[in-house]
Amino acid sequence: MPKVPVLKPDQAYTFSNSFHLPFEPEDGWVEFGYTFWIPVLTPIPTRSIGYHQSV
């Protein structure tokens, strides 16, 4: 089933307007061909090097 467009073709939009619309900004930007994803970050293994403060 096709998705119903959320943007009106006869209305002008700016980037800042997209955050005040009654739907998620991602839903509007998808109509322009943009895709969104949340990258999964893998932490870099670290090792303790110790810290010694001489008095």
DSSP secondary structure, 1-55, as one string: -PPPP-S-TTS---TGGGGSSSS-HHHHHHTTT-----PPP-PPP----------
Please write the tens of the pLDDT for every residue from 6-27: 778 888 888 787 678 787 777 7
Q: Which region, left, alpha or beta, applies to residue 17 given φ > 0 means left and ψ of -120 to 50 means alpha?
A: alpha
Average pLDDT value over all residues in the chain? 77
Confidence band for 32, pLDDT divided at 50, 70 and 90: confident
Residue 40 confidence (pLDDT) above 70: yes
Residues 55, 37: Cα–Cα separation, whole Å: 51
pTM of the model: 0.37
More confident residue, 49 or 42: 42
